Amino acid sequence: EIVMTQSPATLSVSPGERATLSCRASQSVSNNLGWYQQKPGQAPRLLIYGASTRATGVPARFSGSGSGTEFTLTISSLQSEDFGLYYCQQYSNWPFTFGPGTKVDIK
């Protein structure tokens, strides 16, 4: 099983600042990597798939990069609605696995 790790566990950011979230896979997943945002009491929302392709309706301030084992989600200028939990997920190898999440909160 491919183990996904995310860092940091918590990221405190002021509105308007840049946020950089990291995701690492225990073995290569090529570009079969997605990023999700989840707010309390809500279902996850797909932000990025294919490591760098924004899902429909996702603002341009969200960008993804990386391939193989190292991936990054960048939020260029954090807005108030961006606070929440962020998960990465690999869908390269079964069983498909999620990382433990990074919580982005207000500094």
Residues that bind another protein (CB under 8 A): 32, 34, 36, 42-46, 49-50, 55, 87, 89, 91, 94-101
Residue 50's identity, in one-letter code, is G
Compare residues 18 and 91 and give the one whose CB is closer to another protein. Answer: 91
Residue 107 has which token pair? Answer: 């500094």
DSSP, collapsed to helix, strand or coil, labels residue 32 as coil
Compare residues 64 and 99 and give the one whose CB is closer to another protein. Answer: 99
Compare residues 43 and 60 and give the one whose CB is closer to another protein. Answer: 43
Least Cβ distance, residue 36 to another protein (angstroms): 8
Q: How far apart are CA 56 and CA 39, in angstroms?
A: 18
Least Cβ distance, residue 26 to another protein (angstroms): 16
Residue whose pair of structure tokens reads 């183990």 in the numeric block: 3
Q: How far apart are CA 73 and CA 62, in angstroms?
A: 7
Tell me whether strands 33-38 and 19-25 are parallel, antiparallel or unpaired.
Answer: unpaired
Residues present in the chain in total: 107
Least Cβ distance, residue 15 to another protein (angstroms): 26
Compare residues 78 and 88 and give the one whose CB is closer to another protein. Answer: 88
